[in-house]
Amino acid sequence: MNEYEVKIVNALLKKYYKRKTVHKDGKVNRRIDLTINKILKNYSDYNVDLEKKEHVNKAIESLESRSYITSLKLKFSEDYEKIYLNLDSINKLEKYAANELGLTPRTFTVDELKGIIKKYRSKGIVTDYYINSLEETINNRSTQIDVDKEKDILKTLSFLEDNNEFLYIREASILIFSDSKYLENKRKSQVKSILANYYTSVGEDIFEEENLFERFNIYDTDQDICVKGPVIIEFENKTIDIDGLLGGVSFSIKDIDKIKSIIVNADKVMTIENKTSFLRMNNNDCYIYLGGFASKPQIVFIKKLISDNPDKEYLHFGDIDAGGFWIHRKLCEQTNQFFDLFHMSENDLKNTDYSRYLKNLSENDIKRLNSLKTINEYSNCINYMIKFNKKLEQEIVSYNLKKAG
């Protein structure tokens, strides 16, 4: 195989696909040409490598003999100046490129990708979201397509949306790819980026460090439920009384289905966004640590607790920012229980004890806050935040509450 034949064909096809992108009707009327110096630098110079030049000439002759190209030579010389793609032979050239030169023309790639897309269409909301972006990529003929990558991503998204069981990341990888490390090593970061784009597009808030696979019940390591206060948890074969333990207890989410009852001997149950505030709060109430958006196992535990203790007052304590309000909103939706906001109001922002700890809003903060400000329980606080360009982390609030006794 002549390496310059490969180089010529690849360059001409790329120009052809790019030109088709510009013309909406798909017709390419202008001639597609290539100067020889793009194939071999200094082709016409006296110091050119003659052996390489001969290979270029043979490549041109070979392609011209098959009517894939035409050529133009310099005046009074046997040296080539330009070559032109024969548009009437484009289909034959693509087949030749695939069968003889080891190139995969974009039209072949597109046909293969369309077949894969058809298989995964309507497999899930996020999967369809990504398929829509792939179809835009297909229409943009100047964009290169990696079929293997796209197939892997669609397989992963479809699996995630169909998954209902607790899985570790390597178990999911085996189930998807028959390789325990493939998902982590090859596709996890790409899929996480797609998930982040999707949730952002529908107005949901995500944390920078959030493992979005957990929203689909897939975890890197074992996950715990953290709870403290005057609480008695009765499992199938034992009962745990955690009253008086300042740090509370943590148990694996795999044990949730073994819980028979949860008895809260307090008037209030409070979910807390951040671990520091969870550790600080000790007012003889029941506290549950979330660590951000509540995961599916946390929701299962909280719903069980609510079912067993319907008469309690339910509260949520988080950062006074867009993330804090989104976490609260999702918590209420997923548990079917309204949680009153605890120290997440404009009065806390106005409190002079916190004035030196206030932070300015980012553009993204303002965008996310605007999507929530029409909701009654947030409107006053959010309007104040936007007007005065302020937000506050909950750790300083829990610290001051502790100091105040």
**pLDDT tens for residues 176-202?**
999 999 999 999 999 999 999 999 888
pLDDT digits (tens, 9 = 90+) for 196-218: 999 988 877 676 667 889 889 89
Q: Are 264 and 396 members of one domain?
A: yes
Cα–Cα–Cα angle for 54, 59, 60, nearest 5°? 100
Q: What is the CATH number of the domain that holds 80?
A: 1.10.10
Domain boundary among 171, 198, 216: 216
The confidence band for 28, taking pLDDT boundaries of 50, 70 and 90, is low
Question: What is d(CA 94, CA 12) in angstroms, rounded to the nearest whole number?
Answer: 11
- Determine the pLDDT at residue 302: 95
The least confident of 103-112, 118-127, 267-276 is 103-112
Residue 405 has pLDDT above 70, yes or no: no
Q: Are 304 and 383 members of one domain?
A: yes
Q: Are 227 and 367 members of one domain?
A: yes
Residue 39 has pLDDT above 60, yes or no: yes
Domain count, the chain: 3
Residue with more model confidence, 87 or 160: 160
Q: Are 236 and 373 members of one domain?
A: yes
Residue 335 has pLDDT above 90, yes or no: yes
The confidence band for 224, taking pLDDT boundaries of 50, 70 and 90, is confident
Residue with more model confidence, 333 or 402: 333
- Identify the residue whose tokens are 């959010």: 382
Give the residue-averaged pLDDT of 131-142: 82
- Determine the pLDDT at residue 26: 52
Residues sharing a CB contact under 8 Å with residue 151, sequence separation 6 or more, in sequence order: 116
Q: Are 277 and 389 members of one domain?
A: yes
Q: Are 266 and 367 members of one domain?
A: yes
The least confident of 23-32, 100-109, 150-159, 310-319 is 23-32
Q: What percent of the chain has pLDDT over 70?
A: 95
391 burial via Cβ count (<10 Å: 0-12, 13-18, 19+): buried
Question: What is d(CA 16, CA 45) in angstroms, rounded to the nearest whole number?
Answer: 29
- Determine the pLDDT at residue 288: 95
- Determine the pLDDT at residue 219: 85
CA 377, distance to chain mean position in Å, is 30
- Determine the pLDDT at residue 29: 60
pLDDT digits (tens, 9 = 90+) for 371-396: 888 999 999 999 999 999 999 999 99
pTM of the model: 0.62
Residue with more model confidence, 17 or 316: 316
Q: Are 345 and 385 members of one domain?
A: yes
Q: What is the DSSP string of 227-292?
A: EESSEEEEESS-EEE-TT-TT-EEEEGGGGGGEEEEEE-SSEEEEESSHHHHHH--SSSEEEE-SS
The confidence band for 1, taking pLDDT boundaries of 50, 70 and 90, is low
Give the residue-averaged pLDDT of 342-371: 91
C-beta separation of 30 from 18 below 8 A? no
Q: Are 129 and 10 members of one domain?
A: no
Q: Are 120 and 91 members of one domain?
A: no
Q: Are 128 and 81 members of one domain?
A: no
pLDDT digits (tens, 9 = 90+) for 273-291: 999 999 999 889 999 999 8
Domain boundary among 216, 239, 261: 216
- Determine the pLDDT at residue 209: 62
- Determine the pLDDT at residue 205: 67
Residue 21 has pLDDT above 80, yes or no: no
Q: What is the DSSP string of 67-109?
A: TSEEEEEPTTSSSEEEEEE-GGGHHHHHHHHHHHS----HHHH
Residue 233 has pLDDT above 90, yes or no: yes
Q: Per this entry, what is the length of the chain?
A: 405
- Determine the pLDDT at residue 182: 93
Give the residue-averaged pLDDT of 215-225: 82
Q: Are 332 and 239 members of one domain?
A: yes
Residue 20 has pLDDT above 80, yes or no: no
Residue 22 has pLDDT above 80, yes or no: no
Q: What is the CATH number of the domain that holds 340?
A: 3.40.1360.10
Measured over the CA atoms of residue 345, residue 349, residue 350 and residue 354, the dihedral's sign is positive
Q: Are 98 and 111 members of one domain?
A: no
Note down the domain range covering 46.
3-103
The confidence band for 27, taking pLDDT boundaries of 50, 70 and 90, is low
Domain boundary among 188, 216, 244: 216
Residue 271 has pLDDT above 60, yes or no: yes
Question: What is d(CA 237, CA 92) in angstroms, rounded to the nearest whole number?
Answer: 73
